[in-house]
Amino acid sequence: LKAVIYTGYGGPEVLQLVKVEPPSPGDNEVLVKVFAVSVNDWDWSLMNSKTFADRLMAQLSKPKHRILGSDIAGRVVSVGKNITKFTAGDAVFGDLSGAWGGFAEYVCAKEHQLGFKPPSMSFEQAASIPQAGMLAVQGLIDKGKLAKGEKLLINGAGGGVGTFGLQIAKSMGAEVTVVDSREKLGMLQELGADHVVDYKTQDFTLLGKKHNLILDTKTNRSPFRYLRALTNTGRYVTVGGSLSRLLQCLLAGPFISLFSKKKVRIVALKPNKDLDYMSRLFNEGTILPVIDGRYTLEEVPQAFSLFAEARHKGKVVITVANPEQPT
Ligand SMILES: NC(=O)c1ccc[n+]([C@@H]2O[C@H](COP(=O)([O-])OP(=O)(O)OC[C@H]3O[C@@H](n4cnc5c(N)ncnc54)[C@H](OP(=O)(O)O)[C@@H]3O)[C@@H](O)[C@H]2O)c1
């Protein structure tokens, strides 16, 4: 079967399309024919592994998992003897982070890593949801406790988390300010953003506007800078960004809560927890995934280039195979 592997650390040039042995499912696994897979920041950081922490996660000298790709959508081909939830032919999607293997025609997954894909959702739309959708839900609702009528700001809103987060927040009745580069602001307004800030010309923490909640995908400032843009009881929630800034949030968070009513929180992704919730929002018409490009397996390096240069809008998705063709 065809798969995209990486054999060393670096940019998109370390990716190669090769033939590998087909995986065979263990007793607790499901074999999935992959129709679509999306690119995540986690794939990029494992492959690019510039920092020691990234290398530790990817296993120091050489990559442990040769095939990246966590967010997949496809059809169940066969199941191990202990699998009860799925049978051959089921359309599924989910986040395989930790095991990876999605940039391939077939992949094995554990039962808890998959959910049923709604019939009206395309495989590409399904592959765009797992990581970004879970981070948006867990950031806005679980950690952020967003309430109707509140003022929300999303920093780095033009990618996967931000485009889902914006749509969810609008459906909850929030007033949403989005921060990203000028090229992405029109798309975000079409998705319902009330106010836009171009981070290349303005620093939202200096505009004097206070928000009940800030959802951050970039975390490129000290936590104290963000406090300036929060109301007295405001919450700052980060889903990711620079490791040193995240560490500052971890250390400063309890200290800030001691001396004020403001909160600083970090989302630790709970993979696949809210797949059914996202499916419900999709079926109701509350969210429509924003998909940038439909690349083929051969074009995975180009897809990573687009992602690495942050030229993408929403999610970068790879179409691996046509679901209409026989397995
Ligand atoms: N917490 C966890 O357990 C966990 C798990 C997995 C992933 N993550 C993290 O979750 C995040 C994923 O977010 P995502 O998928 O939405 O990322 P994304 O698709 O890369 O989107 C980020 C957006 O931020 C914009 N941006 C870049 N620099 C900016 C700046 N200085 N100010 C404002 N916006 C800026 C980018 O566009 P331009 O460059 O064009 O402006 C892009 O539109 C990543 O940080 C990832 O590491 C966390």
Ligand 1, atom 18, residue with closest C-alpha:
159
Q: What is the pLDDT of residue 176?
A: 98
Two structure tokens written together for 128: 């765009």
pLDDT in tens, the chain (327 residues): 999 999 888 899 999 999 999 899 999 999 999 999 999 999 998 888 766 666 666 555 566 778 999 999 999 999 999 999 999 999 999 999 999 999 999 999 999 999 999 999 999 999 999 999 999 999 999 999 999 999 999 999 999 999 999 999 999 999 999 999 999 999 999 999 999 999 999 999 999 999 999 999 999 999 999 999 999 999 999 999 888 999 999 999 999 999 999 999 999 999 999 999 999 999 999 999 999 988 999 999 999 999 999 889 999 999 999 888 755
Assign 267 to helix, strand or coil. coil
Two structure tokens written together for 83: 């699998």
Of 47, 96, 135, the one to substitute when testing ligand 1's pocket (max ligand atoms within 8 A of C-beta) is 135
The whole-angstrom separation of Cα 160 and Cα 182 is 17
Sort 114 into a burial class: Cβ within 10 Å, 0-12 / 13-18 / 19+.
buried
Q: What is the pLDDT of residue 293?
A: 80
24-44 core/surface letters (b: 16 or more CB in 10 A; e: else): ebeeebbbbbbbbbbbbbbbb
Q: Is the CB of 197 under 6 A from ligand 1?
A: no
Q: Which atom of ligand 1 is closest in space to residue 218's alpha carbon?
A: 45
Q: What is the pLDDT of residue 56?
A: 64
Q: Is the pTM of this model over 0.85?
A: yes
Q: Distance from the CA of 310 to the center of ligand 1, in angstroms?
A: 9
Ligand 1, atom 39, residue with closest C-alpha:
310
Q: Is the CB of 132 under 6 A from ligand 1?
A: yes
Q: Is the CB of 218 under 6 A from ligand 1?
A: yes
Handedness of CA 32, 121, 5, 239 (dihedral sign): negative
Strands (E), 88-169: 91-95, 106-110, 115-116, 151-155
Q: Is the CB of 144 under 6 A from ligand 1?
A: no
